[in-house]
Structure formats: C-alpha cells, structure tokens
C-alpha cells in the first residue's frame, strides 16, 4: 500500500543554517506530494505541494522537488529562522478518488538563535 518514510528527528539547527528533511514514498500510480507544518498547539498547515514528476513546490523559502526516479520529495530551506521551529510532515495523496492523505511520522525542527 501507499506509504511515506520520513527522516527521523528531532533536528536542531542554528539560525541561518541550511535545512534538509528527507522524505521518500511508496505508491501505486502517480500521487500528489505535500509538506505540512504543525506549530505547537495547532493543527496542520499546508506548506507546499507538487502534483507531478519534476514539479517544484515552494513557499516561505522552503522548496521540495517531486523526484519520481528516486521516489523522493525532500524539503529544503537555505536559511532557517527561529520561527521555523515546528513539526514537519511529508504526505502523499492517493489516487483512488477520495484522495485521502498518507503521512510520515513527522520531523521536529528546533532552530536556536
């Protein structure tokens, strides 16, 4: 079945450091891929998405490219800020029609000043 494997955390970085959070997936067909972010005490917010191979999603300085050949969707940011501290979830949308989401286990990022 469909699944997402996400880099385990937690990840601690200094402000302005480069961020990579790895995500690989297993799916039949051609899923859409997402990164969601969850700030403390809040629900999930969509960060970015990509719907087909080689698409690049980007938002708020974060980027991820849909790589079909490596079944990956790694999240990157060139210079993190303290306000980026949160839990990041990689997810895929199945293609059965309901388009429910399969999530990874999440990666907690802490950025220190």
Partner 1 sequence: DAGVTQSPTHLIKTRGQQVTLRCSPKSGHDTVSWYQQALGQGPQFIFQYYEEEERQRGNFPDRFSGHQFPNYSSELNVNALLLGDSALYLCASSSLGVQRGQETQYFGPGTRLLVL
Q: What is the nearest approach in angstroms of partner 1 to the Cβ of residue 55?
A: 11
Site for partner 1 in 40-79 (CB under 8 A): 42-46, 49, 51-52
Number of residues near partner 1 (by CB under 8 A): 28
Instruction: Give me the numbers of helices (H) and strands (E) for the chain, helices first please.
Output: 0, 12
Residue number with CB closer to partner 1 (77 or 93): 93
**Contact flag: residue 105 with partner 1 (CB under 8 A):** yes
């Amino acid at each position: 079945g469909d699944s997402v494997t996400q880099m385990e955390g937690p990840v601690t970085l200094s402000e302005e450091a480069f961020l990579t959070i790895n995500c690989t997936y297993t799916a039949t067909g051609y899923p859409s891929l997402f990164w969601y972010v969850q700030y403390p005490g809040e629900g999930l917010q969509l960060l970015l998405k990509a719907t087909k191979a080689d698409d690049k999603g980007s938002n708020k300085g974060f980027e991820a490219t849909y790589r079909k050949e490596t079944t990956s969707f790694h999240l990157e940011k060139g210079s993190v800020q303290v306000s980026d501290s949160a839990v990041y979830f990689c997810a895929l949308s199945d293609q059965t029609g309901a388009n429910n989401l399969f999530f990874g286990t999440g990666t907690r990022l802490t950025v220190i000043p």
